[in-house]
């Protein structure tokens, strides 16, 4: 009961803070309410792994997830420096409409979503895009790992480029599969690059913004370009100084503000680190 109270309270607060925001900027209240009502925990649990819940008709898909889940959990825990705070609920769907109702965005077109710390997986990962399943699962588990340690509301205050870049790095490119690292580097050098800020916002819950208006529309590939650039920068932060990266993650997961955690770990401000990264590309 206490857990449910916290979940409901968090959603109510989230909806309240979203009041007045543009409909295009954040998921409408109805999508949050739908996801709360269609919590995957209400679906049957897989006997061999009760943290996996599946829509009737998706038993075999759930078993496929069960086969790869341990490796994905281990990868995230190793890369992000500590075990999961608690078991992660994973919802597996066979109907696009059911997936959209449960994922918090209302969209059936995304591959996976982490909402309130639980992961929901699209039916397309078991039909049209099975090659993405491992990476998308790992990507979403990265988000769930952060939410498990600092809470869903606190993750909103982390910059989107960092959350998505970390998930792309940990999942070996999950969420950015159609944009190569080389293409992302080529875009950054002539000044078509993401905005690297030090805080998140309720006005932009998931989008990774660019510094300038894009030359191409904000379609799926443009989103993947943003994710790939973010992944390159997070990977650079990791590889340049692994000890600093680990200290930064530790501070973030101990609820220290991101804007303080970065300079404390690296001895340099975020703009300076970003400038070094861009300079290194050339």
What is the DSSP secondary-structure string of 13-45? Answer: HHHHHHTTS-TTTS--HHHHHHHHHT-GGGSPE
Counting the structural domains of the chain, the total is 2
- Of 101, 125, 152, the residue that ends a domain is 152
In a shared domain, residues 136 and 209: no
Token representation of residue 158: 């982390």
In a shared domain, residues 84 and 172: no
In a shared domain, residues 188 and 222: yes
Specify if 15 maps to a domain: no
In a shared domain, residues 166 and 258: yes
pTM of the shown model: 0.89
- Report whether 170 contacts 164 (CB < 8 A): no
In a shared domain, residues 109 and 200: no
Residue 272's pLDDT is 98
- Report whether 143 contacts 107 (CB < 8 A): no
Distance CA 54, CA 66 (A): 11
DSSP 8-state class, residue 205: S
Specify if 223 maps to a domain: yes
In a shared domain, residues 111 and 181: no
Specify if 228 maps to a domain: yes
In a shared domain, residues 267 and 186: yes
pLDDT at 11 over 70: no
Q: Judging by DSSP bridges, how do beta strands 45-46 and 49-54 pair with one another? A: antiparallel
- Of 109, 137, 152, the residue that ends a domain is 152
Residue 10's pLDDT is 47
Structural domain for 135, as ranges: 21-152
In a shared domain, residues 141 and 161: no
Output the average pLDDT for the chain: 89
Distance CA 278, CA 170 (A): 21
- Report whether 228 contacts 179 (CB < 8 A): yes
pLDDT at 26 over 60: no
Specify if 198 maps to a domain: yes
In a shared domain, residues 129 and 163: no
Specify if 208 maps to a domain: yes
Express each pLDDT in 217-268 by its tens digit: 556 789 999 999 999 999 999 999 999 999 999 999 888 999 999 999 999 9
Residue 265's pLDDT is 98
In a shared domain, residues 145 and 161: no
pLDDT at 138 over 70: yes
- Of 97, 122, 152, the residue that ends a domain is 152
Specify if 11 maps to a domain: no
How large is the angle between the packed helices 242-253 and 220-240, nearest 10 degrees?
Answer: 110
Helices (H), 81-180: 96-102, 133-150, 152-156, 160-170
Specify if 2 maps to a domain: no
In a shared domain, residues 161 and 145: no
- Report whether 132 contacts 125 (CB < 8 A): yes
Distance CA 153, CA 78 (A): 24
């Amino acid at each position: 009961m206490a857990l449910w109270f916290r979940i409901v309270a968090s959603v109510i607060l989230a909806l309240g803070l979203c009041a007045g925001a543009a409909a295009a900027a954040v998921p409408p209240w109805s999508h949050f309410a739908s996801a709360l009502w269609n919590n995957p925990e209400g679906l049957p649990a897989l006997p061999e792994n009760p943290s996996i819940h599946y829509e009737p008709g998706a038993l075999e898909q759930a078993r496929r997830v069960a086969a790869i889940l341990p490796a994905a959990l281990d990868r995230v825990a190793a890369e992000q420096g500590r075990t999961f705070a608690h078991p992660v609920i994973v919802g597996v769907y066979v109907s696009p409409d059911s997936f959209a109702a449960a994922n918090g965005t209302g969209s059936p077109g995304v591959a996976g979503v982490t909402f309130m710390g639980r992961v929901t997986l699209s039916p397309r990962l078991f039909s049209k895009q099975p090659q993405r399943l491992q990476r998308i699962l790992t990507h979403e588990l990265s988000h769930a790992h952060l939410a498990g340690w600092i809470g869903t509301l606190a993750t909103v205050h982390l910059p989107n480029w960092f959350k998505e870049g970390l998930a792309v790095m940990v999942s070996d490119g999950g969420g950015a599969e159609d944009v190569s690292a080389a293409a992302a580097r080529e875009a950054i050098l002539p000044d078509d690059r993401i905005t690297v800020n030090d805080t998140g916002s309720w006005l932009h819950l998931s989008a990774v913004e660019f510094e300038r208006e894009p030359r191409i529309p904000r379609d799926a590939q443009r989103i993947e370009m943003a994710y790939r650039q973010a992944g390159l920068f997070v990977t650079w932060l990791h590889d340049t100084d692994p000890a600093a990266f680990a200290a930064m993650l530790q501070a973030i997961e101990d609820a220290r503000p991101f804007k303080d955690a970065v300079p404390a770990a690296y001895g340099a401000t975020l703009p300076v680190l970003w400038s070094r990264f861009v300079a290194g590309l050339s």
